[in-house]
A and B are shown apart, each in its own frame.
Chain A
Amino acid sequence: MPEPIDVVEALLFASEAPVEAERIQEVLDLPSAGQARELVQMLSERLDGEGRALQIIEVGGGFRLVTRPDVAPWLVKLARSRTRSRLSRSALETLAIIAYRQPASRPDIDAVRGVNSEAVLDNLLDRRMVRIAGRKDSPGRPFLYETTRDFLVAFGLRDLADLPKVEGDLVIPEGPPDAPGDAAAASSQSEAGETSPDAATDAGQQDPGAGGAGVTPRG
């Protein structure tokens, strides 16, 4: 009969997604999730104590069994490739905005970044770092984006509270409506608000992704 701690090790080894304490509790028929946590803690200490190449990390609300960073060079050699595709700076900034302001729409993101984020968002959607959370109740009904569990796993975060604290909220610049140099990105909202009802319906029917920084400048 294997010990519960060994079963936990097997669960973490075989699972492709982080395993939650509740799931361990359920599989092992434990009376509480706290006991599951304890088992994971014991296993983690055992791995550390034996100086094994594996360690347990807590990400995305669950536990993962992963290799230690110091064996990475050999794994790169094994894979015969050192390319682990990384996100671009644009993508990281976009993710940061979404992570702090979830859910955030593309006009919001564009306004903060000052550039069109459509391609970046597509990439993040493809990588499942963000997902569509719904539509914003504003002109054009743009999609709202939020981060996924894959995002937490990719960045080694237990949950969103693991993100560094920022003083105050991220403010979305609205821009005074009469400012001639108002950034194109921010103007998409106010612009749609000024147009006739017919035009507003038109804007609602087209792909919300088509709005944003591509709008015609005024004046």
Chain B
Amino acid sequence: MTTQIPETESQGLTVRVESFVGPLDLLLHLCRTSEVDLANLPIRTITEQYLAHLEAVQFQDLDTAGAFMVMAATLIYLKSKLLLPVDPEAPPDALDEEGELLRQELAERLREYARVKALGAWLGEREAAQALLYGRTVGELPPPEEVPLEDLSVHLLQRALTRLIEEQKRKAPRQVEPNPLSVLERMGEVIDLLRHTWSMLFSSVAGQERVRAEWVVTLLALLELVRLGQARAHQSELFGEIVIESVPPAEGAPAAAAPAAAANEVPIPGESA
């Protein structure tokens, strides 16, 4: 898209060209700005200007870049032909037969493109005018029972299929991750258990299956409870069973200095009462 931003400066008018939609667009712009006749394309000057502009052009993708390069190659090829002396009596801008054909073809393409560009601009104006008119695009009438097939195309069918596949993919069974074990939750569980029994085995809390994560979390929870003075633990021998005991209320209170710990103890006597 060519955006020409006229900037009035002290030196006069500067026109900055941001980008062109294609090599023909750029070439056409060069021909227009230097007011040359498309039928007598001055290869020398146009090639130089084209190459100079090529450095400023921002390429959207490799394909577009390639198209610009192909045009550059054509122009350079034509220019190289000009440098070779064909006939000493010929005018300086004369080309051999093949070159002349190529130049004519280029001029024809440019004329063609100029026409398409003008039509595109006309369509753009129509679109802008139509954008000011608002009508219904979605009716509330129920859809006809017979769907007319005239406006359908393979493309729409393909889109519909793609959409369907995408939806199916989203509906595929999801792997549910188990909640990660939490030391805090395990602490709560141990306290809950200790409300109903004053003593229990570590293995009954951590699970007989000896899942490593379970055992680690249970051990950490137990150690934390012992530190807070909310439980006691015994282990009579190395690698032996750990016995968890509840702390009698009278004993637990002074051990826990933090008010939070004291608050935690309140339900225990309440429960036993």
Contacts and interface: CB of A to CB of B under 8 A. Distances in A.
A17 B11 CA distance: 55
Contact of B123 (A15, A67, A96): A96
A173 B112 contact: yes
Nearest to A89: B1
A132 B151 CA distance: 10
Contacts of A112: 109, 112-113, 116
Interface string A51-94: 00001010000001111110010010000000010111110110
A86 B21 contact: no
B236 interface: no
A115 B135 contact: no
A166 interface: yes
Contacts of B66: 184, 213-214
Contact of B141 (A15, A164, A183): A15
B140 interface: yes
Interface in A154-171: 154-157, 163-164, 166, 170-171
A113 interface: yes
A178 B98 CA distance: 9
Chain B, interface size: which category?
A: 35 or more
B46 interface: no
Interface in B1-21: 1-2, 21
A77 to B, nearest CB: 12
19 contacts: A16-B137, A64-B135, A66-B133, A67-B135, A69-B133, A90-B22, A95-B123, A99-B119, A113-B21, A114-B113, A115-B64, A128-B151, A149-B151, A156-B130, A173-B105, A176-B101, A176-B102, A179-B105, A181-B78
A34 interface: no
A179 B141 CA distance: 59
B155 interface: yes
